[in-house]
């Protein structure tokens, strides 16, 4: 706000004692500042001194201070009491209904009385409220990060505007990138598959913990050497779920010879489909005869009825042909 239009701070002195109708619950009418103090993140650290509501911009501004008399130096952790100066931080908070919330947070700078400390003047930290130099509270940043993780930049920003969280796609992506990486547990059941940098041209390898369905690592290439090297660094793996690629089978065999290799659900169903298809392809004459008998039993026209053309199944190539196809696919992925 500029100097020409200063907000009128409302600082009530006495609580309102308006009589309240008798209800089953005993309602209490505290002062407005005591009521507003329940909505700040840390009531032990912050104190609400005033408020200003702008109906034109639908914005609620709170004047907040820190009542602590002693704070610790962030460098040497020595308690400091001498105040150097004060300044005001503008911090955004979660919206309250249709109103956006801004804080005028009055913070102080202290002298560090430790002679050996290289930082002689420091600003008091509020670790439960806002990060240093941040323009938004921690709880607002957590909500924005959750939108970015769930929906991405563009869709997360659209949802944020509907919820009153004014932000941009770039801000959401930056918060997602700055999010701490969760600690990964030692994997026991591992899923190995390929993923495409560019479909049909370049592929990598994705490694997934099948116990919690979390991605453990992304390898830049589809290579048996990289898979074997990764498995040697994670000896806790006992079960590896993979596709039918001989390349991954070789890498798993070298990197974790004690691990049990299993086929994933997709390729298991694919193998079952191909086996049933091959079995039915071998029994084609019997199926045609059964189809002709069924057609004769159901039709009202006397005489033989020609059987309709049947699906003859996919072309079955030889084992040598399958090996040539897989070798060509691996060479294409390696390129």
In a domain? residue 116? yes
* 112 and 165 both lie in a single domain: no
Q: What is the pLDDT of residue 1?
A: 47
Q: How confident is the model at residue 201 (pLDDT cuts 50, 70, 90)?
A: confident
Overall average pLDDT of the 126-134 stretch: 90
* 197 and 281 both lie in a single domain: yes
Q: What is the pLDDT of residue 59?
A: 92
In a domain? residue 311? no
Residues 210 and 190: beta-carbon distance below 8 Å: yes
* 333 and 191 both lie in a single domain: yes
Residues 120 and 112: beta-carbon distance below 8 Å: yes
CB-facing half-sphere around the CA of 20: CA atoms within 13 A: 10
**Tens of pLDDT, residues 36-54:** 888 888 888 898 999 999 9
Q: How confident is the model at residue 324 (pLDDT cuts 50, 70, 90)?
A: confident
Residue 335 has pLDDT above 80, yes or no: no
Min mean pLDDT across 99-103, 264-268, 293-297, 306-310 is at 306-310
In a domain? residue 330? yes
77 or 19: which leads in pLDDT: 77
What gap in Å lies between CA 58 and CA 52, rounded to an integer? 11
Q: What is the pLDDT of residue 301?
A: 53
Beta bridge partners of 99: 96
6 or 285: which leads in pLDDT: 285
* 118 and 41 both lie in a single domain: yes
* 261 and 116 both lie in a single domain: no
Domain of residue 240, residue span: 185-287+317-335
Concatenated DSSP letters for 65-123?
Answer: E---S-EE-TTT--EE--EEEEEEEEEEEEEETTEEEEEEEEEEEEE---TT-S-SEEE
What gap in Å lies between CA 306 and CA 281, rounded to an integer? 20
Beta bridge partners of 175: none
Cα–Cα nearest to 10, from 29, 42, 41, 35: 35
Q: What is the pLDDT of residue 159?
A: 92
* 20 and 112 both lie in a single domain: yes
Residue 21 has pLDDT above 70, yes or no: no
Residue 109 has pLDDT above 80, yes or no: yes
Tokens of 233: 């660094």
* 110 and 169 both lie in a single domain: no
* 155 and 243 both lie in a single domain: no
Which CATH number belongs to the domain containing residue 226 in this structure?
3.30.420
What is the overall mean pLDDT for the chain? 83
* 242 and 332 both lie in a single domain: yes
In a domain? residue 111? yes
Residue 74 has pLDDT above 80, yes or no: yes
Q: What total of structural domains would you count in the chain?
A: 3
* 66 and 208 both lie in a single domain: no
Place of tokens 């598959």: 193
* 93 and 191 both lie in a single domain: no
329 or 108: which leads in pLDDT: 108
Beta bridge partners of 202: 198
* 64 and 110 both lie in a single domain: yes
- Helix (H) / strand (E) element for 215: namely strand 214-219
**Tens of pLDDT, residues 141-176:** 999 999 999 998 999 999 999 988 989 999 999 999
Beta bridge partners of 64: 48, 105
What gap in Å lies between CA 274 and CA 38, rounded to an integer? 65
Q: What is the pLDDT of residue 60?
A: 92
In a domain? residue 155? yes
Q: pTM for this structure?
A: 0.60
In a domain? residue 292? no
In a domain? residue 83? yes
In a domain? residue 20? yes
> N- to C-terminal Cα distance for the chain?
60
Overall average pLDDT of the 55-73 stretch: 91
């Amino acid at each position: 706000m500029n100097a020409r239009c200063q907000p009128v701070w409302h600082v009530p002195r006495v609580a309102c004692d308006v009589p309240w109708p008798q209800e089953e619950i005993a309602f209490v009418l505290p002062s407005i500042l005591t009521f507003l103090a329940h909505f700040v993140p840390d009531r032990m650290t912050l104190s609400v001194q005033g408020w200003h509501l702008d109906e034109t911009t639908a914005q609620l501004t709170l004047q907040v201070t820190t009542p602590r008399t002693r704070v610790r130096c962030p460098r040497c952790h020595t308690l400091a009491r001498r105040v150097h100066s004060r300044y005001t931080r503008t911090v955004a908070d979660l919206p309250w209904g249709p109103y956006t919330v801004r804080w005028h947070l009055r913070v102080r700078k202290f002298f560090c009385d430790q002679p050996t400390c290289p930082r002689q003047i420091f600003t008091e930290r509020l670790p439960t409220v806002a990060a240093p130099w941040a323009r938004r509270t921690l709880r607002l940043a957590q909500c924005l990060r959750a939108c970015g993780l769930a929906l991405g930049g563009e869709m997360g920003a659209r949802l944020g505007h509907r919820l009153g969280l004014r932000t941009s796609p770039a801000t959401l992506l930056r918060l997602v990138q700055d999010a701490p990486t969760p600690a990964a547990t030692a994997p026991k059941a591992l899923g190995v598959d390929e993923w495409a940098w560019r479909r049909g041209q370049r592929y990598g390898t994705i490694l997934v913990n099948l116990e919690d369905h979390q991605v453990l690592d992304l390898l830049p290439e589809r290579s048996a050497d990289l898979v074997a090297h990764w498995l040697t660094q994670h000896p806790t793996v006992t079960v590896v779920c993979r596709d039918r690629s001989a390349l991954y089978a070789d890498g798993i065999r070298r990197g974790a010879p004690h691990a049990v290799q299993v086929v994933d659900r997709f390729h298991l169903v694919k193998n079952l489909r191909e086996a049933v298809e091959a079995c039915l392809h071998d029994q084609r004459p019997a199926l045609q005869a059964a189809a002709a008998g069924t057609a004769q039993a159901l039709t009202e026209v006397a005489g033989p009825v020609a059987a309709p053309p049947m699906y003859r199944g996919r072309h079955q190539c030889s084992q040598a042909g399958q090996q040539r196809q897989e070798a060509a696919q691996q060479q294409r992925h390696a390129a």
